[in-house]
């Protein structure tokens, strides 16, 4: 899909690398520009860096050196996309801001991915995933029985920000095909996350309900989580009448069908009866029933179980490179390319890119290495 598109990726940690990974999985050539010490996420354990930076080439450049800046500009000159995730003003100080880059490549699509955007009262404040979840109203949607917010183990804001970034880039590439013009995209992770709250904001204004649609927020017994005999959980999503009827018939309780739609609140006596029913079978038994009955009944799986499930295998969403599993971001495509580069070491492709892409000779490369311009 993006074969022939070249992306220069200056990002670190998670949101930007995830955005660039989504482009790489769609065929783009992604050149990851790292400092001489590498992306800081390399020091966060094997998972974070390797999961989000496979299928990329790494070049290590000292961007604080004038020659390093020139090399970066040469890389950008023939590229299609630049992604950076520094705080506002950093790329300008490095001489790599959009205005200067545009002078070298007027068709460049330049994305600045930050927490709060390039301008505004919070633009220069440090922030992380948990902060965006808290400020957006998303975290308030995850509460325990006491009404206290529960911290998710999935960095949703970072990932949603990355998805919004790759979406914006592909839209900009399409626009450029029509107009011939590049653009600067000011993309805020907070903005991307808050856009997920559209329904909740509208409902809060109309009805005052702060937690979304009542029949989706845990207050309906036909859309709920239930503990099983072996202390696992099942998700029941029998919202429509046909699915609720299928469930009732499958558990041989046809008299429950008439509870639809007005007597399905968790305040009804039926809720306790349903909880007790789920405790009579194991998760495996309930899963088998759900598959045969077509009643929107599926197990709550852990990560290992999900990654090895028949569905994930059939859809080829997990593939392996050098015995390690990788999750594809290129869903539902039978022609998923095998990663040609795996996970790069810091600066692994520096010499290859300088010689092959920029035409630099070995003598010049050696000199830069000795001066600390490149790794």
Write out pLDDT tens, residues 218-233.
Answer: 999 999 999 999 999 9
CB of 225 closer than 8 Å to CB of 286: no
Which pTM was predicted? 0.92
Residues 6+ apart with CB under 8 A from 346: 34, 36, 37, 38, 39, 42, 58, 60, 375
Give 297-326 pLDDT, tens digit per residue: 999 999 999 999 999 988 888 887 777 888
Residues of the chain with CATH 3.40.50.10540: 6-195+319-371
Which pLDDT score is estimated for 333?
53
Judge whether residue 332 has pLDDT over 70. no
Catalytic residue among 39, 145, 158, 186: 158
How many other β-carbons are positioned within 10 Å of the β-carbon of residue 19?
A: 33
Task: Determine how many CB atoms are found less than 10 A away from the CB of residue 140.
Answer: 14
Active site residue 65: no
**How far is the first Cα of the chain from the last one, in angstroms, to the nearest whole number?**
32
Which among 222, 217, 204 has a CA at the least distance from the CA of 262? 222
CATH class of the structural domain 6-195+319-371: alpha beta
pLDDT tier for residue 242 given thresholds of 50, 70 and 90: very high
Residue pLDDT, tens place only, 115-158: 999 999 999 999 999 999 999 999 999 999 899 999 999 999 99
Write the pLDDT tens digit of every residue in 62-77: 999 999 999 999 999 9
Residue 336: pLDDT band with limits 50, 70, 90: low
């Amino acid at each position: 899909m993006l074969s022939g598109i070249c992306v220069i990726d200056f990002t670190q940690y998670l949101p930007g690398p995830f955005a660039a990974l989504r482009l790489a999985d769609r065929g783009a050539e992604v050149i990851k520009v790292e400092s001489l010490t590498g992306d800081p996420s390399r020091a966060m354990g094997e998972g974070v860096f390797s999961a989000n930076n496979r299928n990329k080439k790494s070049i290590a450049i000292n961007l604080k050196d004038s020659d390093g800046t020139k090399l970066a500009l040469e890389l950008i000159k023939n590229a299609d996309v630049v992604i950076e995730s520094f705080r506002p003003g950093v790329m300008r100080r490095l001489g790599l801001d959009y205005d200067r880059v545009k002078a070298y490549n007027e068709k460049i699509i330049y994305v600045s991915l930050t927490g709060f955007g390039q301008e505004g009262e919070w633009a220069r404040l440090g922030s992380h995933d948990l902060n965006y979840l808290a400020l957006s109203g998303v975290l308030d949607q995850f509460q325990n029985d006491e009404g206290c917010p529960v911290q998710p183990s999935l960095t949703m804001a970072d990932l949603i920000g990355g998805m919004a970034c790759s979406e914006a880039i592909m839209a900009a590439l399409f626009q450029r095909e029509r107009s011939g013009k590049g653009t600067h995209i000011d993309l805020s992770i907070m903005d991307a996350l808050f856009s997920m709250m559209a329904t909740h904001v509208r409902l809060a204004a109309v009805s005052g309900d702060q937690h979304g649609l009542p029949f989706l927020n845990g207050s309906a017994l036909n859309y709920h989580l239930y503990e099983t005999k072996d202390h696992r959980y099942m998700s029941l999503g029998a919202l429509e009448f046909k699915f609720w009827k299928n469930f009732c018939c499958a558990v041989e309780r046809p008299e429950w069908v008439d509870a639809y739609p007005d007597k399905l609140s968790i305040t009804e006596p039926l809720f306790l009866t349903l909880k007790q029913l789920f405790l009579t079978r194991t998760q495996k038994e309930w899963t088998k029933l759900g598959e045969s009955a077509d009643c929107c009944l599926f197990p709550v799986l852990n990560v290992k179980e999900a990654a090895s499930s028949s569905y994930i295998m059939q859809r080829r969403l997990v593939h392996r490179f050098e015995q390690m599993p990788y999750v594809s971001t290129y869903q539902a495509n039978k022609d998923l390319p095998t990663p040609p580069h795996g996970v790069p070491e810091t600066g692994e492709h520096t010499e290859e890119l300088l010689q092959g892409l920029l035409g630099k000779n070995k003598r010049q490369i050696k000199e830069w290495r000795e001066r600390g311009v490149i790794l």
